[in-house]
């Protein structure tokens, strides 16, 4: 009897991920996220470290269990200036236990310039994280800015968006909700 109870419990917990809502990638592309590239064979992302202005080190493993939208950007990047407020609004609305926007300034971006940039574009809800030597951006194949990478709960890249996007649009919020709703 105990054996059947254990088997049933394992099936129930193992099946929960099978019931996760499948994102409608095509609808996202058709309705405003046309540059979205879906990764056919999700692969683990970089394990390289990035830092914060206080010298603390972080990795993507810190976010394991959450869906994350990683945005690589720079203070000198004009499209980043356009996109950052939308990322801030997305984080404000959907960020929490299941989802996080992770912004990483890549290259030479002094913390003072980042603070000024965030003040200028009214960003209040996004982290200040740094990749000054571009180690993580190179490891993840980022060749232009901005680039946003969707990462699943297990730490695999599942999609990538090249260029700026309206991340606070209904289309983007629907996609994030589909990725986070069991």
Alpha-carbon distance of 116 to 97, in angstroms, equals 28
| pTM, full prediction | 0.87
pLDDT in tens, 70-120: 999 999 999 999 999 999 999 999 999 999 999 999 999 999 999 999 999
Q: Write down the pLDDT at residue 80.
A: 97
| Residue 7 falls inside a structural domain | no
Q: Write down the pLDDT at residue 9.
A: 34
Place of tokens 């404000």: 92
Would you tell me how many other CB atoms lie within 10 Å of the CB of residue 35?
A: 13
The 3-class secondary structure across 17-61, one letter per residue, is HHHCCCCCHHHHHHCCCCCEEEEEEEEECCCCCEECCCCCEECHH
| Residue 93 falls inside a structural domain | yes
Q: Write down the pLDDT at residue 161.
A: 98
| Residue 30 falls inside a structural domain | yes
Domain count, the chain: 1
Q: Among 78, 127, 88, which residue's Cα sits nearest to residue 105?
A: 127
Structure tokens at 60: 């993507």
Contact assessment for residue 75 and residue 105, using Cβ atoms and an 8 Å cutoff: yes
pLDDT in tens, 22-66: 899 999 999 999 999 999 988 889 999 999 999 999 999 999 999
Q: Write down the pLDDT at residue 22.
A: 87
pLDDT in tens, 141-172: 999 999 999 999 999 999 999 999 999 999 99
| Residue 9 falls inside a structural domain | no
CATH number for the domain harbouring residue 56: 3.40.30.10
- Residue 78 structural domain: 21-180
| Residue 16 falls inside a structural domain | no
What mean pLDDT do residues 4-20 have? 38
| Residue 13 falls inside a structural domain | no
Alpha-carbon distance of 57 to 69, in angstroms, equals 19
pLDDT in tens, 122-140: 999 999 999 999 999 999 9
């Amino acid at each position: 009897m105990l054996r059947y109870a254990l088997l049933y419990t394992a099936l129930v917990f193992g099946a929960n991920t099978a019931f996760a809502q499948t994102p409608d990638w095509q609808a996202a592309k058709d309705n405003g996220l046309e540059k979205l590239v879906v990764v056919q064979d999700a692969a683990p992302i970089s394990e390289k470290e990035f830092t914060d202005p206080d010298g603390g080190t972080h990795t993507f493993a810190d976010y394991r269990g959450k869906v994350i939208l990683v945005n690589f950007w720079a203070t000198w990047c004009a499209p980043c200036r356009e996109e950052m407020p939308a990322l801030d609004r997305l984080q404000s609305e959907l960020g929490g236990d299941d989802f996080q926007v992770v912004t990483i300034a890549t290259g030479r971006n002094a913390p003072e310039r980042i603070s000024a940039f965030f003040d200028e574009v009214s960003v209040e809800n996004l982290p200040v994280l740094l990749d000054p030597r571009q180690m993580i951006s190179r490891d993840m194949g980022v060749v232009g800015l901005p680039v946003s990478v969707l990462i699943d709960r297990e730490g695999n890249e599942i999609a990538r968006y090249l260029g700026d996007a309206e991340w606070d649009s209904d289309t983007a919020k629907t996609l994030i909700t589909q990725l986070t709703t069991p």
